[in-house]
Chain A
Amino acid sequence: QLERGCALHTAHRDGLSSVSSQDVPERPRAVFHTSESDPAKHTEQHEGRLYNIPLEEVNAVFPHGLPQRFQQQIRTFNEARVMVRKPALELLAYLKGSNLTHPAVRYVIYGERGTGKTMTLCHVVHYCSRQGWLVLHIPDAHLWVKNCKELLQSSYNKDRLDQPLQASVWLKNFKTSNERFLQEIKTQKKYMWGKRESTEEGRPLMEVVEQGLARVRSASDAVGVLLKELKQQSHRGSFRLLVAVDGVNALWGQTTLRKEDKSPVSPEELTLVHNLRKMVKNDWSGGAIVTTLSQTGSLFKPSSAYTPQELLGKEGFDALDPFVPIPVPNYSAKEFESCYGYYLERRWLQHEKARTEDGKAELQFLSGSNPRQLDRLAGPL
């Protein structure tokens, strides 16, 4: 109890110092909030605090990146608050100090179920979009290897299979987040879409995306062309590229899809997965690759698996090796305090016993300081 009081005290002192250095807000927000909404300026001082992302930015930067529960929370509370945590600060420090002329460094965020890996990825994506990087955000690679209604044989390569629906959905979301880059970057080769349509050399990449959206049959090829162009042009330095993949273990696992003769499809036979694998290889420079492992959407993996070795398998590990592993633990005592305080302040914890010390201790014990369990427990309370 004594150390809890001390932690709150130091946080209060830090809060006072950070508030006095910036403009004083209209009404005093509590200790666990910070008015610093630019991830570039987040330091250890802001650890455990929640920062606000304005709603217009959320729609522009994250058309498809945020987890479902978090999107519901944004709608209920009318604001998007993300907690600044140690793994995210570590990643941001690496990105700030990285040399862009060297080949792209791969970062793998791993951790147990529900500890905040996707939210860390979203924090990094927000930082990069604020800094003006081109963000290639794949919200969940598992969506591309399961539950596909239509599988077309690819016209480019006879062995591979196309997924028009998934590719077109992704292209649409990619267009909303990176409009201005697509106007500036030009293609370097002529591409033929079938017998009659083609994109000339030197046209902006927006036309490739429009082509993919208009002709859904060639959407996967459009995605492939987009990735190839971005990879070739990133080393020039006119833009910096961030490849953010959530659930990267889907690229090297198994799929639940079957061909028409009921034989199983392996991931290499899908065009989207094939192109993404080339993107995640570190043979290009001028950016970074940040990936997340995920057991929740994974196929044929036990639920207790969370380490890179278990989830990626031998093939995936060798393909991603060398990488920088970033473990994401459960909430520390300070982070739990701030999350609990935020729920109380937003009137999310309505039960009268939830405000007492007993209720708080019970919540901490039942959730084991796991962010997802805490969210699910606090729902009905």
Chain B
Amino acid sequence: RIMPVRWNRYDPSYLEPEVKKESYQRPLEELTEEEREQMELKAVRLIKAAPPTLSSSVFSDPMISKFTNMMMKSGNKVLARNLMSQTLENIKRKQLEKYHKAPENEKETIECNPYVIFHQALKNCQPIIGLSNITRGGKTYQVPVPLTDNRKRFLAMKWLITECRENKHRRTMMPEKLSQELLLAFNNEGPVIKRKHVLHKMAEANRAYAHFRWW
């Protein structure tokens, strides 16, 4: 049985499904010529099946879904999603407790929205420059190399998850560990930020090998 791993199983004539509610609520007059043509094409052509991760909910966030997928083990999406929601709730509770205890002038500085904290923490953890192994004359050198956006996001998420899984006490629950790590990363502290800085320093130290890169 052939599984579609590298090549798409669909015919090239299939179109992507449109999930957003707003695009279907626009009246006909608002659409431009191209959009009207696109609509007529969709009425005739076949449409691909929507993947289960694609949601039309107003609360869905692609970064959060990516993170839950990375946390998932052996396909247990239910558990991964529950852990993620418990993490967000934990962050919210900690921040709200701090908020209610703080004096009036400091209340605006405390960020209570777990999604804002999550996105900011990921952004703070993303490295700017990475290292790649290039072999020249039998020896392997660590060469500083620019990273794509996807690779940066992937590295930030991977570092967060491995940090929580390995370097913490065995009996702490994942939501607790993750919420602590995310809050530290949001304030630019913590072991993940340190790892990013270590990578940057290595790249700076290996500047001399930068000309080995050919792309």
Contact = CB atoms under 8 A, between A and B. Distances in A.
A353 B93 CA distance: 19
Contact of B113 (A78, A351, A358, A379): A351
A252 B49 CA distance: 51
B125 interface: no
A309 interface: no
A379 B58 contact: no
Contacts of B88: 379-381
B163 interface: no
Contact of B99 (A72, A347, A354, A358): A347
Nearest to A358: B58
Interface in A342-361: 347-348, 350-354, 356, 358-359
Interface in A65-96: 72, 75-78
Q: Is the interface of B mostly helix, strand, loop or mixed?
A: helix
Contact of A379 (B21, B57, B89, B115): B89
Interface residues of A, number: 19
Interface string A325-369: 000000000000000000000011011111010110010000000
Given A76-B93, A76-B97, A379-B89, A350 B114 contact: yes
B59 A381 contact: yes
Nearest to B99: A347
A197 to B, nearest CB: 41
Contacts, number: 47
Nearest to B111: A350
Interface string B84-108: 1110110011001101100000000
A362 B112 contact: no
A76 B98 CA distance: 9
Contact of B115 (A72, A75, A351, A362): A351
A309 to B, nearest CB: 33
A362 B85 contact: no
Contacts of B93: 72, 76
B59 A351 contact: yes
Contacts of A353: 58-59
Contacts of A381: 59, 88
Given A350-B92, A351-B113, A380 B57 contact: no
Nearest to A347: B112
Interface in B154-202: none
Given A351-B113, A351-B115, A380-B84, A362 B59 contact: yes
B102 to A, nearest CB: 12
B50 to A, nearest CB: 18
A350 B57 contact: no
Nearest to A78: B100
A380 B89 contact: yes
Nearest to A346: B96
Given A350-B92, A350-B112, A350-B115, A379 B85 contact: yes
Given A356-B58, A359-B58, A362-B57, A76 B96 contact: yes
Contacts of A75: 97
Nearest to A366: B57
B59 A347 contact: no
Given A380-B84, A380-B85, A380-B89, A354 B112 contact: no
Nearest to A79: B100
A77 B113 CA distance: 15
5 contacts: A76-B97, A78-B100, A347-B99, A359-B59, A380-B86
Interface of A: 72, 75-78, 347-348, 350-354, 356, 358-359, 362, 379-381
Interface of B: 21, 57-59, 84-86, 88-89, 92-93, 96-97, 99-100, 112-115
